[in-house]
Structure 1
């Protein structure tokens, strides 16, 4: 009669499965918890305290805050533009860690959309990353612009003084021009008396002479008549 031994075989299979599970579970923490894998980097606004673990997704001036990186001494990082802003690499650097923590200087970028990526030696998988926006125009309130002062009215130009009277007396008024005497037109013909031994005159003087001669002749006639009358009277007496 054949005798079977099922129990010893089952025990060997169970022991082998237990050993394999122990090896798998023992190796899993090493693969999942590489030094630095549990660390993180936050994008902080410049006004956010270093010990804060809040994430500032919209910033103007900012810095990077690293913590929980275990035994690592250095973390490298880059910042690239993201569409629609662009695709260019704009910043890069590293963070020196002390007890797994560290910070960067303060940075500023043009308004836009960006991506932070950090890596370290011995990391598992690819570098970790996160995106954020730089919005200086809306994130930092601009001071209310005070109304520009109204321009002070320009002083009214004082009227220029009228010219002071001249100290020297003004010249005596010029005498009014004497009226030009109106001369009667000179006779065009010869004038004046008859020259000695000369002939008679013509024009106005000739008429005068002739008139005078007529008067003399008339007087002579009258004288003769008077004389005749006188002589006649004397003869009758």
Structure 2
């Protein structure tokens, strides 16, 4: 006599749960893919989204509101920086400038970068250059892209956003959790529809 090899409902549920967990973890991994990091010991200026920790050495070239962090510099040595539009026009004036003075540990950071008379840089491609003033000369450059989401009516989230504001403070973990909840909600909805179609409660 042959025996049935159909999986039990508990087995199906366990498999579905495992798949959802794997998708959530995979989504988190994709959202937190590593960016360039300043090499240990090398003086460097990196770009950080507003709200990102000052002491993290990862460079974030795709931003909306941002600031600059400096690492591994001579204490009290001033770092002058400027940002120009890319590609720059001939003899283009910097769109934003400033300086950073590292503390005793050789690190420091700027305030949020904004051009004079504006809250933030317009969306587009830019080049950041920096150079030390006084002491050993260090200099460097980085490219960055400013890409802020369009504001919806009354400054809210974009139309069709479902009430979820497009904020850079929305963490990768929260994004993965939201995706997982949406997937679980979809499975529950399909189950309910199937039960109603079968005539069961």
Which structure has more relative contact order (CA 8 Å, sep 6+)? It is 2
Larger Rg: 1
